[in-house]
A = this chain, B = another copy of it.
Amino acid sequence: MARLPGYLRALTALAADGTLSVSSEELASAAGVSSAMLRKDLSHLGSYGVRGVGYDVDRLSSEIAAALGLTQDWPVAIVGMGNLGRALAAYRGFAERGFRVIALLDRDERVVGEVVAGTRVRSTADLPALVEDDGLAIGVIATPPEGAQEACDELVDAGVRSVLNFAPVVLSVPDEVVVRKVDLSTELQILAFHGQRLAVAEAVAP
Residues in chain A within 8 A of chain B (CB atoms) = 1-2, 4-6, 8-10, 30-32, 67-70, 74, 76, 83-84, 86-88, 90-91, 93-94, 97-99, 137-138, 161-164, 168, 170, 176, 178, 180, 182-199
Contact = CB atoms under 8 A, between A and B. Distances in A.
B194 A94 contact: no
A180 B185 contact: no
Main secondary structure of the interface of A (DSSP, over half): helix
Q: Which 7 pairs from chain A and chain B are nearest by CB?
A: A69-B196, A87-B87, A32-B170, A162-B191, A5-B189, A5-B186, A178-B194
Contacts of A195: 69, 74, 137-138, 161-162
Nearest to A87: B87
22 contacts: A2-B186, A69-B193, A69-B195, A69-B197, A69-B199, A74-B192, A83-B90, A93-B184, A93-B185, A94-B184, A97-B185, A97-B189, A99-B192, A137-B195, A138-B195, A161-B194, A162-B194, A162-B195, A176-B198, A180-B187, A180-B190, A180-B191
